[in-house]
Amino acid sequence: MPVVQDLAFWILSVVAIAAALGVVLVKDLFRSALLLAVVFISVAGFFVLMSAEFLAVVQVLIYVGAISVLFIFGIMLTRNVREGNVPNRLQIPAVMCASLLLVGMIAAAINTDWRPIPEAAAQMVDAAQTQSVAGATVGGPGAGYGEQDTGLAELLIGDFVLPFEAVSLLLLAALIGGLALARSRGS
């Protein structure tokens, strides 16, 4: 039903943009963090509209469940939160970085070839998503996924195994670093 999908797209767009503006404009830091969670959820909605359910679910799991909570923990441990965003010396570099990023993203959006994917490719994507990540590599009763082992898992463990392992190494390093910082001196 394309009408329903269009409607959902516009609702999601309005919510996402309004919430994103709110993140920047609202004085209360805690409310900005909550609005950021709203932005993340609406982005997950876009993923659903593009029938990428797996991506949508992971978006909610990681961005709302972990990153927003991390932000809120950070805000909780900040002094003088009620004063809002106090301006400091980093304003000019921040403006420059943000502008550069904006220009880069607009350039990328203009230069991208926005063609709808052809029917055959769409079916392949659907098939890949039907294979859930873990289910793609092992078989089981009632499923019979064993023979058609495609999908995300295959890509992660196959073609992209090096970046995958590098990211896990990075996370491990961050974890150990966090532990080292959190450990009280001398103990």
Partner 1 sequence: MSCQLASDSILYANGIYRLVYEIVGVVLPCWVAYAIAGLVFAFILVNAVLLGAAVITWGERRVLGRFQNRVGPNRWGPFGLFQPVADLVKLLTKEDLRPEGSDRVVFSLVPVLMVAPLILMTAVVPFARNTALASLNVGVLFILAVSSITSVAIFMAGWSSNNRYAMFGAARAVAVLISYEIPVVLSLLGVVMVAASMSLGTIVEAQALPFFLVQPLAFLVFMAGMSAELNRSPFDVAEAESEIIAGYHTEYSGVRFALIQAAEFGGVGVVAAIAATLFLGGWSGPWSEYLGWLWFLIKTGIIVFLFIWFRATYPRLRIDQIMAFSWKFLLPLAMVNLVVVTLEVFLLRGDDGVLTHTDLAIMAAINLAVTVIAIAVFGNLIKDRVTFRTRQPQQVVVPGVSTIEVS
Cβ distance to partner 1 smaller for residue 20 or 34:
34
Helix (H, G, I), strand (E, B) or coil at 20: helix
Q: Which of 11, 14, 21, 69 binds partner 1 (CB under 8 A)?
A: 69
Interacting positions 119-178 with partner 1 (CB under 8 A): 129-130, 132-135, 138-147
Helices (H), the chain: 2-25, 29-49, 53-59, 69-76, 91-111, 119-130, 151-157, 161-182
Site string (70-99) toward partner 1, x via CB under 8 A? --xx--x-----------------------
**53 part of the interface to partner 1, by CB under 8 A:** yes
**179 part of the interface to partner 1, by CB under 8 A:** no
Which of 69, 18, 13, 63 is closest to 41 using CA atoms?
Answer: 63
**66 part of the interface to partner 1, by CB under 8 A:** yes
